[in-house]
Amino acid sequence: MKKTILITGSNGLLGQKLVDLLSKEDHIQLIATAKGENRLPNQEGYIYQSLDITDNQQVNEVFATYKPQIVIHTAAMTNVDTCESDLEGCERLNVKAVEYIVQACEKQGSFLCHLSTDFIFDGADGPYDEEAKPNPISIYGESKLKAEQIIQASSIRWAISRTVLVFGIVPDMSRTNIILWVKKSLEEGKQINVVTDQFRTPTLAEDLAIGCWLIAQKEAEGIFNISGEELLTPYEMAIQTAEFFHLPKELIKPADSSTFSQPAKRPPKTGFILDKAIRVLGYQPRSFNEGIALLAKQIQ
């Protein structure tokens, strides 16, 4: 008997990695959903269904049609600065849509794995475990915390998968990431300023997809930190990238985050403690350098 898994946001970075991973599993009927056309290069091993998660009627219709046993909800407005300027859009996508998905899960008896973020914390005393008290300092962080609270107050079976600074590439990726940005800048001989006073545990998209799959397989309930293990500054990430690609490190200049003007506040030090995910799920993330190596292979 095949288990039906529905993914939201299948056109996004994590969504595409999840489709890639789960479409190879014979015992799964995979439903990939996103707004608009299917942008995935791999068109086999799953059903694609266009879905606007901010439309309650559409959500209910799609859930009633496919009756998913498991839902992995990856779709969100994740551009932190856009959330500051588009309050209504952020609320609609990151909060209201979660209400609709939770209600649909209630009707169908679906288990929900929801993606959340380190930005629910203020970054005063990271890295954090699953018990740490959230205190968001941006609109994005607030919206993601509200979503968590909606899920936790519901009657459904749920897991929240919190993650940090996801990096990776897919064929049609419009957004860059720190590795590609550093590589391109240094190859062009450009000097770049990179912050030294923010700390993260950067997460390879493939590892995050595996973490979500481990949660889904076990239908493991509760909050799980799914990220990389190494606590690094963006400056350290840039240096490691330059070293991997044998590019001139002297073009990378250390900078203080106060020299950058960004609409949204960033938490200075987040990062996650992964003991629970390692113990309960058997989660084993790759090192940052292994992540760079995987990206390098995919670029070619």
The answer to the question of residue 282 being in a domain is: yes
On the question of pLDDT at 300 being above 80, the answer is no
pLDDT band for position 174 (50/70/90)? Answer: low
Average pLDDT over the chain, rounded to an integer: 96
With beta carbons less than 8 A apart as the criterion, state whether 71 and 111 touch: yes
Q: Name the DSSP letter for residue 232.
A: B
The answer to the question of residue 247 being in a domain is: no
Burial of 246 (0-12, 13-18, 19+ CB in 10 A): exposed
Q: What is the spatial distance between Cα 180 and Cα 34, in angstroms, rounded to a whole number?
A: 25
Q: Name the DSSP letter for residue 119.
A: G
pLDDT tens-digit profile of 203-245?
999 999 999 999 999 999 999 999 999 999 999 999 999 999 9
Main-chain dihedrals φ then ψ at residue 217, nearest 5 degrees? -60, -45
Q: What is the spatial distance between Cα 58 and Cα 205, in angstroms, rounded to a whole number?
A: 28
pLDDT score of 176: 79
On the question of pLDDT at 4 being above 90, the answer is yes
Q: What is the spatial distance between Cα 134 and Cα 205, in angstroms, rounded to a whole number?
A: 24
Q: Name the DSSP letter for residue 93.
A: I
The answer to the question of residue 12 being in a domain is: yes
The answer to the question of residue 260 being in a domain is: no
277: containing domain:
3-168+202-229+271-286
- Name the nearest CA neighbour of 229 among 283, 160, 297: 283
Q: What is the spatial distance between Cα 238 and Cα 6, in angstroms, rounded to a whole number?
A: 36
| Tally of domains within the chain | 1
Q: What is the spatial distance between Cα 158 and Cα 241, in angstroms, rounded to a whole number?
A: 37
The answer to the question of residue 179 being in a domain is: no
CATH number at residue 158: 3.40.50.720
pLDDT score of 1: 84
- Write out the E strands in 74-180: 111-117, 158-163, 166-167
- Name the nearest CA neighbour of 222 among 281, 172, 138, 168: 281
With beta carbons less than 8 A apart as the criterion, state whether 137 and 143 touch: no
The answer to the question of residue 108 being in a domain is: yes
pLDDT tens-digit profile of 9-55?
999 999 999 999 999 999 999 999 999 999 998 899 999 999 999 99
With beta carbons less than 8 A apart as the criterion, state whether 200 and 162 touch: no
- Name the nearest CA neighbour of 208 among 44, 59, 18, 75: 18
What's the average model confidence in pLDDT over 241-270?
96
The answer to the question of residue 252 being in a domain is: no
Put simply, whether the predicted model's pTM sits higher than 0.95 gets the answer: yes
Q: What is the spatial distance between Cα 212 and Cα 15, in angstroms, rounded to a whole number?
A: 11
The answer to the question of residue 254 being in a domain is: no
